[in-house]
Structure 1
Amino acid sequence: MGADHMWRTSTGKGVTVAVLDTGVDSSLPELRSQVLEGKDFSYKPKGATVDTNGHGTEMAAVIAGTGRSGGIQGVAPGVKVLSVKTGSGPRFGDLASIYLKAMRYALKRGARVINLSETILSPLNEGDKKKLQDGLDEINKSDALIFAGVGNDAESDNFAGYPSSLPGAVGVASVDQSGTVSTFSTHGPQVALAAPGEGIPGHCTDGGGWCEESGTSHATAIASASAALIWSAHPKWTANQVLRVMMQTASKPKGGVPSEYIGYGIIRPGQVLLDGKGTRAQRTSIRCSRTTTQGRAPPHLRPPHRRPTPPRALRTPRTRPQPPPQQVAMAVVATRSSTLEPVWP
C-alpha cells in the first residue's frame, strides 16, 4: 500500500519541518511553493536557498516534494519546509555553535519537526557538547521533535556522532525496502527508530537524470515527514504523544525493544493514520533517542586517537541513473501489515 492511501487522511498540512542542512534549492518544480524563507548560519553565508552540495535539497524533496513536473514525490507533500542552512565552520566547535543557533531559529519560526540529516563525526569537548545539548533541551521544552541520523559508519568504527548521540534527539537508523538493516547504518543505544534509507530516488548532481541514493540521511527525512503526517492529523497532540505512537506502532525487532539496530522499530505511520493504533499519553519514558533508564548517555564508540574528520552528510555514493521516481514514500513506510520484521545482515 502506497502513501497515497495515507494522504487521504493527512498530507502534513499545517506543519513546518525545518531542514538543517546545506540549504534548499526552492526552484525545483517539486519544491516550488513548498519552501519558506529561512536563514543561512553557515561560516560563509550565501543564502538559505543556495545549495551547492545538493544534500539539503534532496532531504527537502524526500520530505515535501509534490511530484510536480515529474519531480520527486515526497512523504508529506502538505508540509512547509523551512530551510536553515548550517554547513561547517573552520573548526568543529563552530559547527556546534551553528547548530545551536539553527535550532533556536527553527523554534522561533514555529517548526514542530526539525530534520538533521548530518552528523559530527569527531570528538567534541564538554563545552561544545553542552551547546548541542542546550539546543536539544530547548527543542524538548518547546514541544517539538528533532530527528537526527545516526550515521553510516557501521562498517568502519561505528562511531556515535553528534547530535544523535545526545539525550533529546530521536536517532534514526536505516533499513532497506524489505526491512533488512542497512549494513552501513551505525548501531548502538542512540538508535530510537528506523526507516527506509536505501534505493531512494534523487536528482543526480553530475549532469541530470535520476539516481538511487542510500543513507541514514534519507531514513531521517522519512521519519521527520512521518511525524509531520501524524501531527497534522492530530494537531493537539504533544511531541511526546507523537513520538510515543510512532514507537508503539513501529514494526518490532524479534529480539525485543529497544534494539541497537532499529531502536523501537521500523516506522509505520499508516498504523496511526489509517488504523487508529497507538495510545497517546501525556508523557513517555522513551522521549529521547538514547536515554537509558537512568537518563545517562552511553560511552563514545570512537577511539580517542582517531584524527578528526569533517562533519558528514549521511548519504552513501549514488548508484547509476534510474527512471523518474513515482514516489519516495515506499510501501514499507505506509504499510499497515504487522508481519514486517527486520532481517539482520
Structure 2
Amino acid sequence: MRMRKATSALVGLLLAGVAATPAEAETVRSTQWHLDAMKADDIWTISTGKGVTVAVIDTGVKPIPELDGQVLPGKNFASPSYKGDERTDHSHHGTAIAAVIAGNGKGPGGADSAFGLAPGANILPLRVDFGGDGTAPFRSMIQAIRFAADSDAKVINVSVGGINQSDELDSAVKYAVDKGKLIFASVGNDGNEDVIWPAATPGVVGVGAVDAKGVALKESQHNRYVDVTAPGKDIISGCDGGTGLCKSSGTSEATALVSASAALLWSIHPDWSNNQILRVLLNTAGKPKDGAQRNDYVGYGLVRPRIAVPTPGDPGPADVYPLPDLAAAASPAPAPAAPGGKASPAPKPEAQKSGSDNGSALPWIALGLGACLIIGGAVTAVVIQRSRR
C-alpha cells in the first residue's frame, strides 16, 4: 500500500525550567497572533463556546491544565498495542489541537498560558491508531466518526487524513451529518493537488490554512475539496501540561480554529441546525482575493467568527446542506451550479477507493506541520517558554 509522509519542519516543544528573560515578559496571549486577527477578545464578550462539545478524532487528548475540566470521557479506538486510553497522547498532537480549540489560558498552578478560540467549549477525545510509520487501521476512523455521531458533540474535528477512501467512510460521514453534526477535516500539507480523506468525503468540510496576510500556506493542499480556510501559521497552544508550549503550523491547526468558530456560533444559537451553522460560516467568510466565489486555494474563503458571531444574518433553511458535494454524491447528475455560474460534473474521487473495509491499515497522517507528531520527518526543537509575571 502506498504510504504518505507528513512533511514537517517544526515544531515546538517543551522545555521545562528555563528562566524567562526580560524580552519574554509579554503574556502568552499577546503572542497568539491568530486570536488578535480573529478578534477573539471581542467575540468572547458574546460567546466562548460554552455548552458545545467538540469531538476530537486524533492521537488522544491529555487533560492538561489548559483544558482543566473540559476533557470529557471519550473512547479509545486504538489497538491494545498502543498503551493508555483516550486521555493518553504520546505525540501531543491531539492535545495541541484540543487546546487550539478550547484552551483556557491557564497553565500549571494557574500560570499564564495559551488560549483556544472557544475557551468555554468541551472536548470529547476519540483516539485512533497511529504507528511509527504513520499508519492507522481504517476501521478505527470509521468507528470514531460513528461514535461521535451518537454522542452529544455537535462538532467533529478531524485533523488527520489518509490517501484512500471506502464506502464505509462515506456511510459513517453521512450518518453523522444526518444526526446533525458538523465535520471539519484537514485537506493536507503536501502543497499539491493530492486528495486527502475524510476532507474529500461528501458531507465533510475541507479546511486549508493561511498565514497572517490571508495567503494560503505553500504547504496547504489546493484542490476542489478545499471549502474554507483559517489561520494555520505559527499557532501557539498548550500541549503537554508542563512549562512549555507548542508552536505549530499546518491545516491541523486551521481545522481546529474552524471547529472552534462553529462552537462559538452554536453556543449562542443552540436551536440552529448543522446546515444553518455552516451556512452562516460560509456567508460571513472573507472571500477569495481573486474575486471568485471560491478557488482551490482558499475555498469559499477565510472563516471569520468576528463577523459570524455578532452579525450572522439569515441562517437559511435548517434541512438544506449548503455545499454541493452531498447532492452530487447522491446523484450522477451535474452538481448544482453556483449563483451565476455553470453546472459542473459531479466530483469523482481522484485517489484509490476501496469498496469495503477489511480492517487493513490505511495511511493516516497528522496534518499539522509540526504539531508535535512527526511522521517520517525531522524534528527541530523550538523553545516556547511561558512568561513569568
TM-score bin, normalised by smaller chain: 0.7 to 0.9
Report the secondary structure of 1:103's partner residue: helix
> Could you tell me how far apart the structure 2 residues matched to 1:198 and 1:208 are?
22
* Residues 290 and 297, structure 1, Cα contact 8 Å, conserved in 2: no
- Cα distance, 1:93 vs structure 2: 9.9
With normalisation by structure 1, the TM-score equals: 0.83
Query: Is 1:4 matched with 2:41?
Result: yes
Indicate the residue corresponding to 1:270 in structure 2: 306
- Cα distance, 1:299 vs structure 2: 4.0
Report the secondary structure of 2:50's partner residue: coil
Indicate the residue corresponding to 1:136 in structure 2: 173
> Which one of the candidate residues 328, 331, 347 is aligned to 1:297?
347
Indicate the residue corresponding to 2:382 in structure 1: 320
Aligned CA-pair RMSD? 2.7
- Cα distance, 1:167 vs structure 2: 0.7
Query: Is 1:38 matched with 2:83?
Result: no
Indicate the residue corresponding to 1:147 in structure 2: 184
The amino acid of 1:268's aligned partner reads R
Change (3 A) 1:290 1:10: farther
Report the secondary structure of 1:71's partner residue: strand
Residue deviations 1:81-128 (CA, integer Å, cap 9, x gap): 00000124799997321111111111222111000000113x34xxxx
Report the secondary structure of 1:37's partner residue: coil
Report the secondary structure of 1:61's partner residue: helix
Indicate the residue corresponding to 1:70 in structure 2: 112
> Could you tell me how far apart the structure 1 residues matched to 2:154 and 2:315 are?
20
Change (3 A) 1:196 1:91: closer
Residue deviations 1:125-161 (CA, integer Å, cap 9, x gap): xxxx11111111001100110000000011xx53211
Aligned positions of 1:152-171 closer than 5 A: 152-154=189-191, 157-171=192-206
Indicate the residue corresponding to 2:125 in structure 1: 83
> Could you tell me how far apart the structure 1 residues matched to 2:209 and 2:132 are?
30
- Cα distance, 1:211 vs structure 2: 4.0
When structure 1 is superposed on structure 2, of 280-289 and 245-254 the one drifting more is 280-289
The amino acid of 1:37's aligned partner reads P
Query: Is 1:102 matched with 2:155?
Result: no
> Could you tell me how far apart the structure 2 residues matched to 1:89 and 1:142 are?
31
Residue deviations 1:307-339 (CA, integer Å, cap 9, x gap): x984210111367323548xxxxxxxxxxxxxx
Greater RCO structure (CA 8 Å; 6+ sep)? 2
Indicate the residue corresponding to 1:336 in structure 2: none
Indicate the residue corresponding to 2:229 in structure 1: 194
Change (3 A) 1:82 1:58: same
- Cα distance, 1:210 vs structure 2: 3.3
When structure 1 is superposed on structure 2, of 84-93 and 57-66 the one drifting more is 84-93
When structure 1 is superposed on structure 2, of 101-110 and 46-55 the one drifting more is 101-110
> Which one of the candidate residues 170, 187, 209 is aligned to 1:174?
209
- Cα distance, 1:222 vs structure 2: 0.3
Indicate the residue corresponding to 2:373 in structure 1: none
The amino acid of 1:315's aligned partner reads G
Indicate the residue corresponding to 2:364 in structure 1: 311
- Cα distance, 1:280 vs structure 2: 3.0
The amino acid of 2:127's aligned partner reads K
Change (3 A) 1:41 1:143: same
Runs of 4+ in structure 1 deviating by more than 6 angstroms, as ranges, are 89-94
Query: Is 1:226 matched with 2:264?
Result: no
Indicate the residue corresponding to 1:342 in structure 2: none
> Could you tell me how far apart the structure 2 residues matched to 1:40 and 1:188 are?
32
> Which one of the candidate residues 207, 210, 213 is aligned to 2:245?
210
Indicate the residue corresponding to 1:52 in structure 2: 90
> Could you tell me how far apart the structure 1 residues matched to 2:261 and 2:327 are?
20
Indicate the residue corresponding to 1:305 in structure 2: none
> Could you tell me how far apart the structure 2 residues matched to 1:224 and 1:183 are?
22
Change (3 A) 1:86 1:211: closer
> Could you tell me how far apart the structure 1 residues matched to 2:217 and 2:134 are?
28
* Residues 136 and 363, structure 2, Cα contact 8 Å, conserved in 1: no
Give aligned-pair identity as a percent.
Answer: 38
- Cα distance, 1:277 vs structure 2: 3.5
With normalisation by structure 2, the TM-score equals: 0.74
> Could you tell me how far apart the structure 1 residues matched to 2:218 and 2:118 are?
27
Residue deviations 1:46-79 (CA, integer Å, cap 9, x gap): 2100000100000000011101122220010111
In our comparison, the structure showing a higher alpha carbon Rg is 2
* Residues 14 and 78, structure 1, Cα contact 8 Å, conserved in 2: yes
Report the secondary structure of 1:83's partner residue: strand
Change (3 A) 1:41 1:13: same
> Which one of the candidate residues 246, 252, 257 is aligned to 2:287?
252
Indicate the residue corresponding to 1:14 in structure 2: 51
> Could you tell me how far apart the structure 2 residues matched to 1:218 and 1:287 are?
25
